[in-house]
Amino acid sequence: MIVALILDAGAFLAVERGDRNVVALLKQELLLRRPPVTHGGVVGQVWRGGARQVRLAQLLRATRVAPLDDDLGRKAGTVLGRARQADVVDAALVSIAADGDLLLTSDPHDLRALAAAAGVHVDVAPV
């Protein structure tokens, strides 16, 4: 059972391009009243505004978006130091995850390494 479905930018872009597998997983989670989770940095990576992003706008309305604030930034920075990586958006994504969560990502290799550095036991699925 998925505790929470955590989305990176690649997952949002998969929905925007109509990826049936990703859309089906999201529908299933929403039917179970488990909204997907992301943070504001990911939103900044994918949102450009305008009528072409209808699918993305719908998904964002259903998504719990954590603020990328000082606390999350410090957690992400600590993870980056341990992992010797530099992508704060990915590190913040791992920092909002909990054991048992599923991270849906276009960058599974980096997110697995960051999760290991953070000591969080998550499943990482590629999109």
Domain boundaries, the chain: 5-126
Q: What pLDDT is attached to residue 107?
A: 95
Q: What is the pTM (predicted TM-score) of this model?
A: 0.94
Q: What pLDDT is attached to residue 17?
A: 95
What number does CATH give the domain 5-126? 3.40.50.1010
Question: pLDDT tens, 22-78?
Answer: 999 999 999 999 999 999 999 999 999 988 899 999 999 999 999 999 999 999 999
- Confirm if 10 and 127 have CB atoms less than 8 A apart: yes
- Confirm if 57 and 46 have CB atoms less than 8 A apart: no
Q: What pLDDT is attached to residue 81?
A: 98
pLDDT of residue 102 exceeding 90, the answer is yes
| Bridge partners (DSSP) listed for residue 38 | 65
Question: Token digits for 64?
Answer: 């719990």
In the predicted model, what is the mean pLDDT of the chain?
A: 96
Residue 123 DSSP class: E
CB atoms within 10 A of CB 127: 21
Q: What pLDDT is attached to residue 1?
A: 61
Q: How far apart are the two ends of the chain, measured CA to CA in Å? A: 19
Q: What letters, b where the CB count within 10 A reaches 16 and e where it falls short, cover 7-22?
A: bbbbbbbbbbeebeeb
